Amino acid sequence: MAPVLPKATSLTYFAEGGANVLYRIGIPTSSTMDEIPPTEIDHYSPATPQPTALEAWQVDLDQPDHSYLKGNLLRLRKDLPTVTTILEGQRDFHDHIEPLFEEDEIVMQTLIEVPQATVDQLNAVLVAMDNGGYRPKVFSGVYLAKSECGQLVKDMSSPPGRGWVTVELKPKWLSQSPNAPAGARRCRTCALGLARAAEGAWSSDSPTFDCTLCPLDLVSGIESKVERAVRAILNKSQVHGVSDSSLEKRLVAYFLTSPLLTKIRYLQQKLDPVGIIGAIAEDKGFRTAMTLRDCSLYLKIPPVETGAIEARIGDLDLKSPKKTKRWRSIEQQLISRGWYEKDGLGFCGLLS
């Protein structure tokens, strides 16, 4: 049976993606219980900046009743037609994702019961953030699904003020698309990046792609290519308070020696050998491969150079078969408009 979110929980908006919203979890201490309401969800007026951390008094997760919350974030699903429910997502994670990896390679997730009244309050906060302009515009107008379940996911953010750094990236397609033409000069990720940079976003919810980072560089095993990729990652991450040269050196060493990304590349190839155009939309192997082509890699880096980097992949909700039509359309456009064969903005590790 899933644990229940305690009534005294305080939740603070942390981040969101296309399918989920993440919240930091705070439990008021016994000394402050008389000073605040039994349930408090932070509300923010249009004049209040978006929060990124909890006040110190809100957190006391060492109590035995709350220890299962320590080190975790609360993850709640958005109300979208192409998104599976939390229960379905947890089942798919357990059946199709978790068996592929070691426990220390993935961001673990477990179910937790969340009262509908809490979800309603959180939606009211999102509406207020929309009205105040404090949510990313691409997510505005989309709110949490009606559900009494959420997920606890491991918090991979770094402790503030202690010299730790967390770098996050999406490795994307770590090998060429099986549908790419024989004369391709760009990998799937770089072809799409060039197309979107040249033609603009193909839809209002399309992200801007980075044409300076080629995923193939990360798994090339060639030091100069890995260095090029790491520099692009750090430029995008805008890490502050850490020596760039030291961090770059450590990340290069990690990517040259870690088997995690090569494992993801192997699984992408094995689970989708025919490519998007010929794939069966409902096939769990294909959907798992597409999930691994859109996962996030979190690198939690300690301040001591000799300390080991903690690396895990997250955003592992099994992709819905409803997305296949759009994926197929994009792939066909990349082929028919010649984006795989074009030179231009940026570069690609396929040939360089």
**Does 129 have pLDDT greater than 70?**
yes
Stretch 138-161: mean pLDDT, rounded?
91
Buried b (16+ CB within 10 A) or exposed e, 148-182: bbbbbbbbbbbeeeeebbbbbbbbbbbbbbbbbee
- Rounded to an integer, the average pLDDT of 68-86 is 91
Q: Is the pLDDT confidence value at 55 over 50?
A: no
pLDDT of residue 14: 94
According to the model, what pLDDT value does residue 160 have? 77
Average predicted confidence (pLDDT) for the chain: 85
pTM (2 d.p.): 0.83
Confidence of residue 44 (pLDDT cuts 50, 70, 90): very low
Distance set, CA 249 to CA 223, 240, 306 (Å):
11, 16, 12
Torsion of CA 270, 275, 279, 282, to 10 degrees: 60
Question: Residue 29 has what pLDDT?
Answer: 57
Confidence band of 30 (pLDDT split at 50, 70, 90): low
Looking at residue 240, its pLDDT comes to 52
Higher-pLDDT residue of 54 and 242 is: 242
